[in-house]
């Protein structure tokens, strides 16, 4: 009887230990996701300032401004619960952020045509903030992927997968490179 109780106690302690590891790692994933959202929000907050700055120099580029602001609106409307995120939701989020990146690229192309704008100290500061924010977004995505990877290892490895399935823990999706980024650039001289 004592041996049976000892085995039951060991199994119960093991289940509790694995469950707690899953909870801790899921919290790490959620924390990493919040950093992703924070950085993308920071980028979205810079967009109106960039648009207004460029608009002051290039008044005839209304379509570019409108598209940029519409892309910003779409990108900020998507909210994801990291505890229940699906690959489809993450892909939708990435697509909206990619659309905003493309719109910002078009806006920067407009800015390139105006040397006096590029020489403006305010514009230079905004561009520095924007570039820093893009770097922070990259780091936040990387950290999210690392935390999701750690969580997924626990969820998928035996015998942790047994506890994970008992309590409904599921694999987390990763940020993946855009299709455009997977293509090798064409270099011509």
Residue-wise pLDDT for 80-118, tens only, equals 888 888 889 998 999 999 999 999 998 888 888 888 887
The domain ranges of the chain are 2-77+106-171
Alpha carbons 43 and 23: distance in angstroms, whole number: 30
Which homologous superfamily is 2-77+106-171 in?
A: LemA-like domain (1.20.1440.20)
Average pLDDT, stretch 2-27?
94
Q: Band of the pLDDT at 187, cuts 50, 70, 90?
A: very low
**Residue 102: phi, psi to the nearest 5?**
-65, -40
Residue-wise pLDDT for 132-178, tens only, equals 999 999 999 999 999 999 999 999 999 899 999 999 999 999 988 76
Q: Are 70 and 130 within 8 A, CB to CB?
A: no
What does the chain look like in DSSP terms, one character per residue?
-HHHHHHHHHHHHHHHHHHHHHHHHHHHHHHHHHHHHHHHHHHHHHHHHHHHHHHHH-TT-HHHHHHHHHHHHHHHH----TTS--HHHHHHHHHHHHHHHHHHHHHHHHHHT-HHHHT-HHHHHHHHHHHHHHHHHHHHHHHHHHHHHHHHHHHHSTTHHHHHHHHT--PPP-----HHHHSPPP---
Which of 61, 51, 33 minimizes the C-alpha distance to 142? Answer: 33
CB atoms within 10 A of CB 3: 7
Q: Is the dihedral of CA 32, 33, 38, 44 positive or negative?
A: positive
Asked if omega into 30 is within 30° of 0 (cis), the reply is no
Is pLDDT at 186 greater than 80 in this prediction?
A: no
67-83: b or e for each residue (b if 16 or more CB lie within 10 Å)? Answer: bbbebbeebbebebebe
């Amino acid at each position: 009887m004592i041996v049976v109780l000892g085995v039951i106690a060991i199994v119960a302690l093991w289940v509790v230990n694995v469950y707690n590891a899953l909870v801790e790692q899921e919290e790490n994933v959620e924390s990493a996701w919040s950093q992703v959202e924070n950085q993308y929000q920071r980028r979205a907050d810079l967009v109106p300032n960039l648009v207004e700055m460029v608009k002051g120099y290039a008044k005839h580029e209304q379509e570019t401004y409108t598209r940029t602001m519409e892309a910003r609106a779409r990108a900020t409307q998507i909210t994801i619960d990291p505890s229940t995120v699906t690959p489809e939701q993450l892909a939708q989020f990435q697509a909206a952020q990619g659309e905003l990146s493309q719109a910002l690229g078009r806006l920067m192309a407009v800015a390139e045509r105006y040397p006096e704008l590029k020489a403006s100290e305010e514009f230079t500061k905004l561009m520095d903030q924007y570039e820093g924010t893009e770097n922070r977004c990259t780091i936040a995505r990387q950290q999210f992927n690392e935390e999701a990877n750690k969580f997924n290892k626990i969820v998928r490895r035996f015998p942790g997968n047994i506890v994970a399935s008992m309590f409904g823990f599921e694999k987390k999706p990763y940020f993946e490179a855009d299709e455009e980024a997977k293509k090798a650039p064409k270099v011509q001289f």
